[in-house]
Amino acid sequence: MNSPAKKSPPSSTLSRRRLVQAAAAGPLLGAASGVSAGLTASAAAATPTSADTVRDAMLRAATYMDETVSYEGAYVWSYRPDLSLTWGEMEARRTMCWVQPPGTPTVGHALLDAYVATGEKRFLHAARRTGRALVRAQRPEGGWNYVHDFAGAKSLKRWYESIGINGWRLEEFQHLYDNSTFDDAATSTAGQLILRLHLLDPRDRGFRRSLDKVIGFITDAQISGGIGDGGWPQRWPRDPKATTEMPWPKTLPSWLPEDAREGMVDGDYTQHVTFNDNVLGENIKLLLMCVVSLGRDDLVEPVRRAMECVRRMQQPAPQAGWGLQHLAEDRDGRPAGAVAAGRSYEPRALTTHTTQTNIEQLFTYFQLTGDRTFLDGVPAALDWLASCRLTEQQRAENPLIASRTHPTFVEPGTNRALFVHRFGSNINNGAYYYDYDHHDTLSHYSGGRSVAEARLRSEYDRLRALSDAEVADLVARSPLTPGESYDLPPFFSLHDLGLLELLRGTSHAVEAPSEAEVAAVVADLGEKGYWLSPAEAVTNPFRGPGTTHPYDGKAYMSKHVGDTFDTSPYPSSNPPAVPPYQAAEPPQLINTSTFVENLGTLIRATAS
């Protein structure tokens, strides 16, 4: 769970944060995607770029990433050009394989897409090398952690005990769980790449075994029985040493509101039925891809169970929405199915962006199954969203939510917006809390969301108006309907594939980029063989544990980072307003997201 709005994190996610380090200020994170060396599309050459020139640029960029940037085929997110410093979501070791998008699977999909577009075996070689790195990083139960270290378990443990534990806002990296994660589409995107590589060469036993393992992992991890039947936890199997609470300092700020409440009230959030980051939707996607391409009709049943779980977890009117997580079993007098708290800055609440995502999922399930009852709960969900919009006063008084329509969190029962804040300067003297105050909210986890109510209502009306014949046509083309196996969409890195793109007979035509776009990407690559893009944020290098001395100020309350002991990334343009922080010019980095986007432009030019 690593982003605020996050989270639609499939293989093509290009907006993830990317990290690297400056000599004085510490690691830098993030980069503008796409062409980035000051060359604008309008300034690009007007002469059409030849097919040979485009292919040469693709080969040089892919070869450099494979042979120079990757570590044995694996990738993190960002690199200094001399590769002296590397970053995933946080500072990384050179020996690491970052599985979260836009890491190793994301690059692998782009390389494979280049092969599909050109037939050039060099791309396939690089994609297979990346796939084999993922096979090596795959955990025994069949899934993947966010990150793997090829230097060994002790090296990874040291990283968690130094960099990870001091990232104040990155609670999922403060503890090395002995299990796999469905979060951030890590296991889903890795599994999709393994599936594609297996389909290209079914004789490769390594990819076949890896694919069997990940399919078994997803089906074994699916919750069986009870109201949570068909859902998935965030991580699996259960880790008995999982974090169940975050520290609450003994000495509290003098200004802390009396009604401030602690988070993580429902213990180990990784075992709840999880909708955050579309965990359930991502698992359905991978399973349906296996149905489509492998003829695995046995996987239809877990898909249908998952769809039913979405509908079953909807809360009763008048608050007919969903939360990030829901209890998988009765707990402390609360029934299974009730909304549950997540990380310490994710209170027990209904969430408006999750509700929007789940409404969209129900739209899709109706079109895949022809079952109109999947639409039955939508009007109540839309009515609830209309009842809990941000007020004009809330938006006017807090610039962090001024452009949003709804609060992120809404309290069960009262229907009042909940807002999350924090005090202290680092993980050792600070903590997150929540109340009803809309001021001074977190910058790294938005207190507001943009919910497209009008679009959702329009789509509901459109789907309700479909004739029986139109619905029957959709069902006939659905991967849930028995029939011969068929090809998956050809490209995975150009955009986030939706479930409806798995319908039989769907066109996968690629829109050609403009000549100016192509020329700009080729020119920006130049002779160096890689693309650079400016960093957007920095992090402090690890200096040891932060002070436990109480901090009574508010300098870090609405910032991405705490004091200089905090290893969390933060925007370079918006550091805390206390020394020694200051804004700095971002350096140029090699970013996997920029590589994927620019290679995608050339793929579209070749394939269209």
Q: What is the three-state SS of 472-494?
A: HHHHHHCCCCCCCCCCCCCCCCC
What does the chain come to in residues? Answer: 608
pLDDT value of position 530: 98
How sure is the predictor about 21, in pLDDT bands with cuts at 50, 70 and 90? very low
pLDDT at residue 2 greater than cutoff 80: no
Task: Burial-class residue 125 by CB neighbours within 10 Å (0-12, 13-18, 19+).
Answer: middle
Q: What is the mean pLDDT of residues 211-222?
A: 98
Please give the full DSSP string across 15-31, using - where no structure is assigned.
-S--EEEETTTEEEEEE
DSSP reduced 3-state for 307: helix
pLDDT value of position 133: 99
Query: Phi and psi (nearest 5°) for 446?
Result: -60, 140
Q: What is the pTM of this model?
A: 0.94
What fold characterizes domain 19-607?
Answer: Glycosyltransferase (1.50.10)
pLDDT at residue 181 greater than cutoff 70: yes
Beta bridge partners of 26: 22
- Least confident range from 124-138, 260-274, 276-290, 524-538: namely 524-538
pLDDT value of position 434: 98
Q: How far is CA 176 from CA 34, 196, 246, 279, 402, in A?
A: 34, 30, 15, 20, 37
Beta bridge partners of 71: 74
Strands (E) in 85-146, as ranges, are 86-87, 91-92, 96-98
pLDDT digits (tens, 9 = 90+) for 104-137: 999 999 999 999 999 999 999 999 999 999 999 9
Beta bridge partners of 274: 325
Amino acid at 398: N
pLDDT digits (tens, 9 = 90+) for 428-457: 999 999 999 999 999 999 999 999 999 999
Q: Between 37 and 556, where is the model more confident?
A: 556
How sure is the predictor about 538, in pLDDT bands with cuts at 50, 70 and 90? confident
pLDDT value of position 294: 98
Place of tokens 């600070």: 430
pLDDT value of position 273: 98
pLDDT at residue 10 greater than cutoff 70: no
How sure is the predictor about 46, in pLDDT bands with cuts at 50, 70 and 90? low
Averaged confidence pLDDT in the chain: 93
Domain assignments of the chain as residue spans, ordered by start = 19-607
Q: Between 313 and 18, where is the model more confident?
A: 313
pLDDT value of position 47: 76
Q: Are strands 19-22 and 26-31 parallel, antiparallel or unpaired?
A: antiparallel
